[in-house]
Chain A
Amino acid sequence: MFDQSKAHDVFDRIKKHSTADDVEVLIVGGRNALTRFANNTITQNVAEENYEISVRTVVDGRTARATTNKFDDESLRRVVQASERLAKVQDADPDLLPIVTVAEATGGNAPAAIPSRHFARTVAVGPQERASGVESMVAVAHKHGHTSAGVYAVSEHVEALLNSRGVSAWHTQSHAEVSVTMLARDSSGWQKSNSPDVDQIDPARLAEVAAEKASSSAGPKEIPPGKYTVIFEPSAVQDIVGFMFWDFSGLSLLDQRSFLTDRVGKKLFGDNISVYDDVYHPLQSGAPFDGEGVRRARVELIRNGVVRNLVYSRGSAARMCKTELAAQAGDVRATGHGFPLPNEMGEAPLNIVFAGDGAAKSVDQMVAETERGILVTRLWYIREVDPYEKIVTGMTRDGTFLVENGKVRNGLLNFRFNQSLPEMLSNVEAMGEPVRASGEESFDMVVPAMKVRDFNFTEVTKF
């Protein structure tokens, strides 16, 4: 595994090769192992180790990046030269800021450290232990007469950023993830969990819940599409709402490609919706610095349905301050959310935490209080249909149930939805306790289960 002293050694060698005004090095990589199973059999089992050195040089107000995974001196010399060559052929960019200083990187953005996200136990999990985890899930499948498929994955990740103005940022963390699908004759169920600490994940328990969903959704019935009260489990909430947070970016507003254009400071969602970006939250994940090494701030994005703030890289904040938009863009400052430069995306909040509304209800309670509605386990293939109304489409999957008179009645054929997200988050009738949720369509978040009225299902499929 890469360590800090090796990172500094690489940086020192790169500096020697550079003739640029400034140089910044990003080192990203780690070890990943993943065991995949299907039909109650391990079908794919992989491991890799790889580290990339990404060099950004700045020459007279111009910048470019070159990347390699080769660490020998000749390769380092070539990657520096490639970066400088690409930078030098450009016109100078008057908006390009100098490489960040130590004071800029650490100033202003309060909390000093995140909770440890590196667990030796997780890193030590090998192929035999992963196989044992899979065996426990397959055993559950056998018990219920189902067929199982899923993954058991562990990884160790390192991220380092060093620059010629003295910034030296380092983050390492572990990650474990298990997901499982149980297949019955005409139904299925799914569960997924992840954590930096493998001991927080119980594969057999996940398999039991997935198996129960597959059993109880057997013989799915068809009901017509239309507007329904829908109870979304946290993974489904995360997968659908994730499509709007890319727009909580200063550059997205400057580009007029954000659905928040002309809407910051306005009430777009229900009173019960408050959202932060907070890398320091105990259930969150990731490095406490951004692609330039700037420390991340905790940013209030939505308070009681009103869009309060966006996140900014240094460059986006500086550009925003020069425009008339700044007056309506909340608190404009570099928040430590920038992507590595140069890039076209600017920045994004990737540590979303829903605040909850203080009256958390379990999914069971939401079901018990629902006269007629639909319980959704998982959503799939979500894509944006309209960028300003923020209409997204997608399908339900692996456990869709009819709720009647406070009880889960039976499984349903899967639906397609076309739904405006601001409208959805204006119609939230109840929420659960925010939990770390994991899906497949969006980045991990801390989100609650939600009960939403008038959710727009437009079609029903044939299974």
Chain B
Amino acid sequence: MEHIAEWALNAARMRGASYAEARLVDDRNRALATKNGKIGSASDSESMGVGVRVIAAGGWGFAATEDLTQRGIELCASHAVEIAKASARVKEQELRLVAEPPALVTWSSRYEVDPFTTSVEENLDLLLRVDAELRSVSGITLAETNMNFRRYEQWFWNSEGSRIHQTRITSGAGYAAYSFAGSEIQKRSYPNSFGGQWQNKGYELVRELNLLENARRIAEECVALHSAPQCPQGRTAVILDSSQLGLQIHESVGHPIELDRVLGMEANFAGTSFLTLEKLNALRYGSELVNVVADATEAHGPGLGTFAYDDEGVQAQCVPIITRGLFTGYLSSRDTAEKIGRTRSGGHMRAENWNRVPIVRMTNVSILPGEKPLSLQQLISDTDDGILMQTNRSWSIDDKRYNFQFGCEIGWEIKAGKLGRMLKNPSYSGITTEFWNSMDAICGPEEWVLWGTPNCGKGQPQQVMGTGHGASPARFRNVRIGSAYSGS
């Protein structure tokens, strides 16, 4: 692969690039799905190509090609330089990168069983058994299951001497049951919506999820929702399960801390952020119990945001984001870090694939568990009056990441420390900082799960990225609930 780097970097230098990097990616995917007892889809895909990013005349340029011949690579690099020079025509700010030492690294995410070595028959058999179990519950009108594997191998070279070879194996699996009756469609998912659980693991993840063992419960809950009372409207204490809290972190912490948004670079599409620069180390983001990190290191776990180096060659790090409730950090790239006077990027630049330019993305943005053991059951016992909400159904937040509303698949009334009636269509809403400041309890490490969100969309052209979010169930006081159904 070294020769491809030489072609790209030499061509870029010769055309006038002051900085150049090339990323070659070999990407392989498998997607299996069932629907109501039949194969819904079965597909394999592979994609290989190279993306060249350069700075020339003080502007950024990026070009990508599937043509891996010397001529193809050199044309691509030349095109990138031509684009960069055009970029330099329109600028009010100088482009500079903070330093990053060159790295010579080969790294692979950890896995026990390469999922591509498992038999498709075995994979489909498991999914079909789950599917049958879901539909064995009277009232289930639609059952869907899925299993997805990815092997993503990348070679990164830059003109500063970095040579980084990384391979990530990712697995994901889950299912959903639907029930239509009367004038309602209800849905329950396991172990999470968005296709279940996703991690940088091998087939062992599928085995750990106990998919079949949970299918009947999930289907029964789905059908029972039809006769459950509607989630009331008002204000109360809310306990979020760890998967929903993971998405709450994603939307109301992960996105607003992206420096490109803060600096206005996403103003036209993904939006800006309420976390303007003067708020760093000054804003009371949450209560004293709120500790959030953006941790891409392997020590944090096999999240979809775990790697050794980001896609501009910066080493994976753990960046404190909220420390005992105080806002303490942003997600950065080498150029955005320079704009706010940092000496090093936090390493958050990631590209969807070889044909997309890296942009600032979440790694594993996780809330740390409570320091003392506290189970979900104990947290419920400690709650006089409130609602437990589980599994995301809808999510929306404004373009500064301030006003949010989430719907969950299922809710449970809490009265006098005990779970009571099931509640359907639960939703809650609020303002980001008010919400995090209302957190008064979080479960301990034994309840902490690192969830994978495989479908985070950002950028133009849009890029889909996997992110990780670790969370334990937590309680929030005086939360507005039920407004999603008001007036309709």
On whether the two chains bind one another, the answer is yes
Residue of A nearest to B119 (CB): A89
Whether A47 pairs with B268 at a CB distance below 8 angstroms is no
Q: How far is the CB of B154 from chain A (nearest CB, A)?
A: 16
Contact of B45 among A66, A190, A342, A420 (CB under 8 A): A66
Q: Which residue of B lies closest to A132 (CB)?
A: B89
Q: Counting CB contacts under 8 A, is A209 at the interface?
A: no
Q: Please tell me if the beta carbons of B89 and A131 are within 8 angstroms of each other in the complex.
A: yes
Chain B contributes a number of interface residues (CB within 8 A of A) equal to 89
Contact between chains at B267 and A90 (CB < 8 Å): no
Task: Tell me if B383 is interfacial: C-beta within 8 Å of chain A.
Answer: no
Do B185 and A388 touch (CB < 8 A)?
yes
CB distance from B111 to the nearest CB of A (A): 21
In the docked arrangement, what's the CA distance between A397 and B402, Å?
13
Q: What is the CA–CA distance of A45 and B144 in the complex, to the nearest angstrom?
A: 40
A19 interface residue per 8 A CB criterion:
no
Write out, one digit per residue, whether chain B residues 45-69 have a CB within 8 A of any chain A CB (1) or not (0). 1111101000000011111111100
Which of B142, B185, B395 is packed against the most chain A CB atoms within 10 Å? Answer: B185
User: Which stretch in A48-56, A233-241, A282-290 binds the other chain?
Assistant: A48-56
Q: Nearest Cβ in chain B — how far from A48, in angstroms? A: 4
List which B6-62 residues lie within 8 A (CB) of chain A.
33, 35-36, 38-49, 51, 59-62
Partner of B64, one of A36, A44, A50, A54: A50
Interchain CB contact (< 8 A) of B82 among A65, A95, A127:
A127
- A70 lies within 8 A of chain B by Cβ: yes
| CB-CB under 8 A for A38 and B121, given A69-B47, A459-B429 | no
In the assembled complex, which residues on chain A have CB atoms less than 8 Å from the CB atom of B357?
Answer: 44, 46
The answer to whether A41 and B485 touch (CB under 8 A), given A48-B64, A342-B42, A343-B40, is no
Question: How many A-B pairs fall under 8 Å by CB?
Answer: 291
Q: How many angstroms between the C-alpha atoms of A379 and B431 in the bound complex?
A: 19
**A87 beta carbon closer than 8 Å to chain B:** yes
Residues of A within 8 A of B207 (CB): none
The B-contacting residues of A in range 128-157, CB under 8 angstroms, are 128, 130-131, 134-135, 138, 147, 149-151, 153
* Interface flag for B341 (CB, 8 Å): no
Residues of B within 8 A of A414 (CB): 398, 403
Residues A256 and B66 in contact in the complex (CB < 8 Å), given A52-B47, A179-B268, A393-B394: no
Establish whether residues B397 and A458, one from each chain, have CB atoms under 8 Å apart when the complex forms: no
Residue of A nearest to B84 (CB): A45
In the docked arrangement, what's the CA distance between A130 and B89, Å? Answer: 11
A-B contact list, 12 entries, CB within 8 Å = A40-B90, A40-B92, A48-B356, A49-B66, A69-B66, A90-B124, A255-B141, A261-B180, A344-B41, A382-B396, A385-B484, A459-B483
Task: Give which listed residue, A46, A48, A151, contacts B268 with CB less than 8 A.
Answer: A151
**Is residue B263 within 8 Å, beta carbon to beta carbon, of the partner chain?**
yes
B399 at the interface (CB under 8 A from A): yes
Q: Is the CB of A395 within 8 A of B267?
A: no
B-contact bits for A69-107, CB 8 A (1 contact / 0 none): 110000000010011011101110101000000000000
